[in-house]
Structure 1
């Protein structure tokens, strides 16, 4: 179970290493060669001295142009101590494996992104002996995917979009398009992506919207975090919580709800029917679309 946005932001690349290539090539515009194979590596870079040095994610990419070691660092805020470790990471990896290291920093903060992208110069100011130029993925350059069709064409990239932009003003549109796109991939991958996104949504309302959408689509309930939500539902009353979920989805989608519709939903005690209404709410054009042919 993913427990924090820090973990989710780099673990998505462990789940889908090919996303790394697309992020480097398409988002960052770096002509990175197409890997034949990816392999995860030990993230512990500690030597004999008692100073722990551990990267977030380390992947080996074998290409026709040679082997690259891709270091992914998730950064929530400015941290000069962490920044000071980056040259060590790259130098150590090159010295040990004689492969070209590539540093990618991913963050949800524009300010942190600008800080992380600044070159690190070590040595004489005009003639540095070592220069490190991190590649940074952030809301500044990760595409904002709010169209369901675009999300379906590249679901992992749509997940990355939701993870980096999920705290912004278009969170609702992003999450709705991603929810639709998740229907097009296998359930296990979808369930993993659901948790990555859930861990990165710092806004309480956006997170609740995401959980409502996923509950309606049943992906969310495949993971341990769902037990917490189910327990909350039991404490409040499962029928009441499910009815509230239906109305929240309509509200977040900007659909007007009349008093008669609200009364019908809140008075319903049939969990199966409420579940159907929740699924319809995700795509409904009007509140009356909830009921379909229901009498």
Structure 2
């Protein structure tokens, strides 16, 4: 299940089709060809990979006569995934073949450690063919505190809040967003407001709530849906780690299949039951045996 942060980042790049090109050029120093239009294209790759495998987003920059000048495969990556070094090359090749133009991979992450993991060159095994992903981590995202800049590019200030909202600039970023919010349609204003406030440190969030003169409630259906999912995911993850922590603290060896089963659980009652079991069992395998797993 995609996380709140994953879906929010994808939504930003989808709502502002030029954002991928802007980040490649301004944050990563990549030359971008002259284009007259940036459009979102289908990212389904059913021809080569299973239908549930797809790139998060494909943006095509069109030049003269609307011909594709550059395609950008946007991938949001928030955790290590051993499959990605293999499928990223598939995404690039299929997108390049479909649109018949140069294609680049832009990986977006909010974690500096993940940015380093994603940046590692991928040796394809073919002589001379080495893929080095272009990675936009939090350090590459601009700190947007200027109201005029935020108004011109509201998705960038939201991205800035997600990358830097926990730092000292959080309050200034939030205030800049408020200046931009007035020019947004109702749905985007609600969604982006939720994302910005949920990304800021506590002090900055309180300041913005005071400026807005009332306690803030999540307003958009998008945000209510994904924030609810995010809270559920966070609770599941915390309880899963509690199970493993109990086992490790008792000096029990945790087999890979047990660890994977615990981390994959989506049942809070099951995890609560495992927490209690973890305190008394003599072998970590008994944790699953009790449920007939």
> Which TM bucket (shorter chain)?
0.5 to 0.7
- Structure 2 regions of 5+ residues with no counterpart? 228-293
Kindly state the Cα deviation for residue 56 of structure 1 after the two structures are TM-superposed.
Answer: 0.6
* Matched position secondary structure for 1:118: coil
Post-superposition Cα deviations, 1:75-130, rounded to whole Å, max 9, x if no partner, equal 11222212321111111222333222211111110111111122212126xxx342
Once residues 62 and 215 of structure 2 are traced to their aligned partners in structure 1, the CA distance between those partners, rounded to angstroms, is: 38
Kindly state the Cα deviation for residue 53 of structure 1 after the two structures are TM-superposed.
Answer: 2.2
Kindly state the Cα deviation for residue 158 of structure 1 after the two structures are TM-superposed.
Answer: 1.4
Q: 1:218 to 1:102 in 2, by over 3 A?
A: same
Q: Is the 8 A contact 2:171 2:205 kept in 1?
A: no
Comparing both chains, which one has the higher relative contact order based on Cα–Cα distances under 8 Å and sequence gaps of 6 or more?
1
RMSD of Structure 2 on Structure 1 (CA):
3.5
With the length of structure 1 as denominator, give the TM-score of the two structures. Answer: 0.63
Find the counterpart in structure 2 of residue 8 from structure 1: 8
With the length of structure 2 as denominator, give the TM-score of the two structures. Answer: 0.63
Find the counterpart in structure 2 of residue 131 from structure 1: 130
* Matched position secondary structure for 1:91: helix
Find the counterpart in structure 2 of residue 144 from structure 1: 143
Kindly state the Cα deviation for residue 178 of structure 1 after the two structures are TM-superposed.
Answer: 1.6
- Structure 1 regions of 5+ residues with no counterpart? 230-295
Find the counterpart in structure 1 of residue 89 from structure 2: 87
Runs of 4+ in 1 over 4 A off after TM superposition: 48-51, 184-188, 202-220, 222-229
Find the counterpart in structure 1 of residue 261 from structure 2: none
Once residues 140 and 67 of structure 1 are traced to their aligned partners in structure 2, the CA distance between those partners, rounded to angstroms, is: 28
Once residues 170 and 56 of structure 2 are traced to their aligned partners in structure 1, the CA distance between those partners, rounded to angstroms, is: 26
Once residues 110 and 21 of structure 1 are traced to their aligned partners in structure 2, the CA distance between those partners, rounded to angstroms, is: 21
* Matched position secondary structure for 1:173: helix
Matched, 1:78 2:80: yes
Kindly state the Cα deviation for residue 187 of structure 1 after the two structures are TM-superposed.
Answer: 4.2
Find the counterpart in structure 1 of residue 192 from structure 2: 193
Find the counterpart in structure 2 of residue 43 from structure 1: 43
Q: Is the 8 A contact 1:94 1:101 kept in 2?
A: yes
Once residues 148 and 62 of structure 2 are traced to their aligned partners in structure 1, the CA distance between those partners, rounded to angstroms, is: 32
Kindly state the Cα deviation for residue 193 of structure 1 after the two structures are TM-superposed.
Answer: 2.5
Find the counterpart in structure 1 of residue 281 from structure 2: none
Once residues 30 and 228 of structure 1 are traced to their aligned partners in structure 2, the CA distance between those partners, rounded to angstroms, is: 33
Find the counterpart in structure 2 of residue 180 from structure 1: 179
Equivalent pairs counted in the alignment come to 224
Q: 1:84 to 1:156 in 2, by over 3 A?
A: same
Kindly state the Cα deviation for residue 17 of structure 1 after the two structures are TM-superposed.
Answer: 1.0
Q: Is the 8 A contact 2:21 2:32 kept in 1?
A: yes
Once residues 176 and 135 of structure 2 are traced to their aligned partners in structure 1, the CA distance between those partners, rounded to angstroms, is: 25
Match of 1:100 among 99, 102, 106: 102
Once residues 171 and 195 of structure 1 are traced to their aligned partners in structure 2, the CA distance between those partners, rounded to angstroms, is: 14
Once residues 160 and 77 of structure 1 are traced to their aligned partners in structure 2, the CA distance between those partners, rounded to angstroms, is: 18
Once residues 50 and 21 of structure 2 are traced to their aligned partners in structure 1, the CA distance between those partners, rounded to angstroms, is: 34
* Matched position secondary structure for 2:42: coil
Q: Is the 8 A contact 1:215 1:221 kept in 2?
A: no
Post-superposition Cα deviations, 1:228-282, rounded to whole Å, max 9, x if no partner, equal 99xxxxxxxxxxxxxxxxxxxxxxxxxxxxxxxxxxxxxxxxxxxxxxxxxxxxx
Q: Is the 8 A contact 2:17 2:40 kept in 1?
A: no
Q: 1:94 to 1:214 in 2, by over 3 A?
A: farther
> Following superposition of structure 1 onto structure 2, how do residues 43-62 of structure 1 map, counting pairs within 5 Å?
43-47=43-47, 50=50, 52-62=52-62
